[in-house]
Amino acid sequence: MGPTNEPPSGAVDDPGELLTPPTPANRESRTALKNWATVMGHLMVQHLDYDTKAGRASLFFMLAEPLILIGLFYLIRGVARGMVSQYGDSLFLFLASGILPFYLFLRTSTLTRRSQLQPGRRLPRINSMDLFIAITATNALIWLVVIGFLFVGMWMYGIKQAIPVSIGDCGIALFLLVIAGGGLALIHSAIARYFPAWLAIIRYSTRGLLFFSGVIHIADFYPPYLRTWLVWNPILHGVDWFRLGVYGRYPTLVLDEFYLVKTAVILLFIGIVADRATLRHGGR
């Protein structure tokens, strides 16, 4: 029997039939997401413009504080030799790889929901949560640029280990620190609606966590009785994960990546719930 021109069983005459056209609901969702992303970009640009014009001094000190702290620990390393650890070829890189992620979390967790961006409020359907997301994303972007430039600068200076072994691990660790910090910021803002001084207290008291987050001391080398309690600190896991990405090989006995992921998601969820539950109180 000769060949036939009939299509095999199950074949489709028109390949276009295999393509399912997007439903109106899908098109509307894509359009809404695109519009929201455009608005977020607009708010981020406005907030960045506000920071660079209206608050240049505060922006400078915000970025200069961790750099000054790195230099301070580097200069007094002889006096504080028992307190400051070192891993790798450069003490400066070791300090920077701990202090910079810590301050990224610190700045994110002390942001407020209120914004000075009055022009942004004129956009249709913009609420305070949108402004908070834009402010958080802008501050995170600023810190990521600073971290990137500092690491490139260290590499150009001759610190070869400043080029991370795994940029992906570094990026994931920083992203999770931002998520956890954003969740905490919402929780703090909710508390501040009932206790306005709370934000000022948190803003200064949390700096002490630097000594208990594996920043200037390798977390695995903490005394066992202290390490048992410090492993509950999510910042410690974020710093360790970031350093693992930088060095490739780093003491990671206490590192628990899943714990950081879980904590970031839980903090964000609690923060959103607390924010919504207290929204009508205090108008903040």
In a domain? residue 165: yes
Q: Which residue has the higher pLDDT, 196 or 187?
A: 187
Q: Which residue has the higher pLDDT, 75 or 187?
A: 187
Structural domain for 226, as ranges: 23-277
Question: What distance in Å separates the CA atoms of residue 51 and residue 267, rounded to the nearest whole number?
Answer: 27
DSSP annotation of 160 reads G
Question: What's residue 120's pLDDT?
Answer: 44
In a domain? residue 8: no
Return all residues near 117 (Cβ < 8 A) that are at least 6 apart: 43, 46, 47, 50, 131
What mean pLDDT comes out for the span 50-62?
A: 57
The distance between the two most distant Cα atoms of the chain, rounded to a whole number of Å, is 95
Question: What's residue 8's pLDDT?
Answer: 53
Total domain count for the chain?
1
In a domain? residue 4: no
Q: How far is CA 265 from CA 52, 173, 175, 184, in A?
A: 31, 13, 12, 11
Of these ranges, 35-39, 142-146, 165-169, the one predicted with the greatest mean pLDDT is 165-169
Query: And the tokens for 228?
Result: 């048992």
In a domain? residue 282: no
